[in-house]
Amino acid sequence: MTTDPSRPPCGVRVLHVRTTAFDLPHLPALGALFDRVLALRPAQVVADLSACRYIDAAGVGLLLDVHRRLTRVGAVLTVHDPNPGIRRILQITGVDQVLPVTTTAPDRGVPHPRAGLTTVA
């Protein structure tokens, strides 16, 4: 999974990716999806885990890989609305210390903690 830093950024500042599974069996499809998303060079990618029931070590590794790739081009990955079990996994692994983790506020956008960007939930 690589991005071409010489390509200009796309006009889309925020891309929202929603998934129901973030584990090893789904890794090939998720990896391909994130490859396509990153090729667009957005300023922020939001991984919406609100409908995701499970994340395993492979999913955590993919999140960190996407984060690393986005950071190289000055962009940000935000994890949005993980359920309590997934939030606990993110805390135990320390991912919540590396990536912003947000929750939905009623009738409001999701604030981006670093760049002032907003995506509507």
pLDDT at site 112:
44
**For residue 67, what pLDDT is reported?**
97
Residue 5 confidence (pLDDT) = 54
Rounded Cα gap, residues 14 and 6, in angstroms: 20
Mean residue pLDDT of the chain comes to 83
Helices within the chain (DSSP H only): 27-39, 57-72, 84-93, 95-98
Q: Are 109 and 117 in contact (CB under 8 A)?
A: no
Q: Has residue 111 got a pLDDT over 50?
A: no
Pick the CATH number of 14-107 from 3.30.1520.10, 3.40.630.10, 3.30.750.24, 3.30.420.40: 3.30.750.24
CA 31, CA 46: separation in Å to the nearest integer? Answer: 15
Strand 118-119, strand 110-111: pairing: antiparallel
Q: Give the model's pLDDT for residue 10.
A: 56
Q: Place 6 in a pLDDT band, splitting at 50, 70 and 90.
A: low
Contact indicator for 121, 104 with CB cutoff of 8 Å: yes
Each residue's pLDDT tens digit, 24-34: 999 999 999 99
Closest of 98, 102, 106, 113 to residue 79, by C-alpha: 102
